[in-house]
Structure 1
Amino acid sequence: MSGDAFQSFKGHFLLAMPSMKDPNFSRTVVYLCEHTVDGAMGFIVNRPSHLMAALDVYKEFKLEHVDTAAGVPVYTGGPVQLDEIFLLHGPPFDTEGTFPMGGEVALSNSMATLSAVAKGEGPEKVAIFLGSSGWAAGQLEGELVGNVWLTVESGSDLIFDVPAEMRWENALDRLGIDPVLLSGDFGRA
């Protein structure tokens, strides 16, 4: 993006185009928690984990938990830091180790927040992520120029309320794009 002023897409969603060759990201929706000139970091919000459920996470950390906390969704956040657990959640944002991403979403990997969620005392809207997605300096910008991703600014409902299997199509709909009309081919003028 030579000569262009840097534009951060922190708090936006990335939607994988059909041309996405990386199987880790095919048909994914990624919520960007950070995007600076030094790189970007986010979480795939439409890939439910087939390895662990919320109860498995609580048991792994020997956390006291209530039955209602078993329904907290767990996602594969990406191919980076697979041994790390992160939470995206709605308010409250006052727990130590919680980083607000905007008005409606915060990022946390604190044990205090995870413990509160397990006890049914944490944020009402929450999702657990195993691993994350990351880009080195300039990498995401190159992929955006290469038409690998679309960006959409959207509310937290895409993370917490829209069913995971419908998030990609729902995000495209927010842009006014019919997924059937998308092509994996692109050109240059």
Structure 2
Amino acid sequence: MALPVDSLAEELELERNILREVLTQAPAALTVMWGEELRFRYMNDEARGFLPAGVDPIGHTIEELFPAAGATADELRATVLQGGEPIEVHDVPIASTAPEAWEGHRYYTFFTVPVPGSGGQPAGVLNVGYETTADVRARRRLERELASEHRIATQLQVSLMPEALPPVPGLDLASAFRPAGSGQEIGGDFYDVFPINDT
């Protein structure tokens, strides 16, 4: 017959195995960083994909693994670890030569939340990241298409405008073009000049 301590140990091991399986199979990059220096304590395979092959992140800080991310590490310490507030960072570019990369980067959105220690105060942080490369690619392509259409519309508008106003005897004429649309270079504002009867 199992002793209560043995039963508790078995339950704890079962819970750990379930948690390990969930973290491993999660379709997101998951990391846990711990302590004032925020050293990596856990990183699933999806998150390890950010690192060069053969690099073991456990025990290292963000700055040691990603030297350009010093400001991000400072924000995590100040906002999440010390302030206890979660943060969200969108479309972070990470250099990549993977086939999924776009213009040399893969993009991720990260959510970082505090993890309380035994005293209830934040002792570490949990990062959850998911890839947004396809969204960034689609958004940038749409922006380029809109810019191209805007350029064509502007050229069309200007080509339809007369180079000079027609002469009207006895008058000096001037004109200015301001499009009706807010922030747009094209509108339905066309004009003409013609004489009218005085009566």
Is TM (by shorter chain) over 0.5?
A: no
Larger RCO (CA within 8 A; separation ≥ 6): 1
When the two structures are superposed, what TM-score results if normalisation uses the length of structure 1? 0.25
Larger radius of gyration: 2
- Larger strand share, 1 or 2: 1
When the two structures are superposed, what TM-score results if normalisation uses the length of structure 2? 0.24
- Larger helix share, 1 or 2: 2
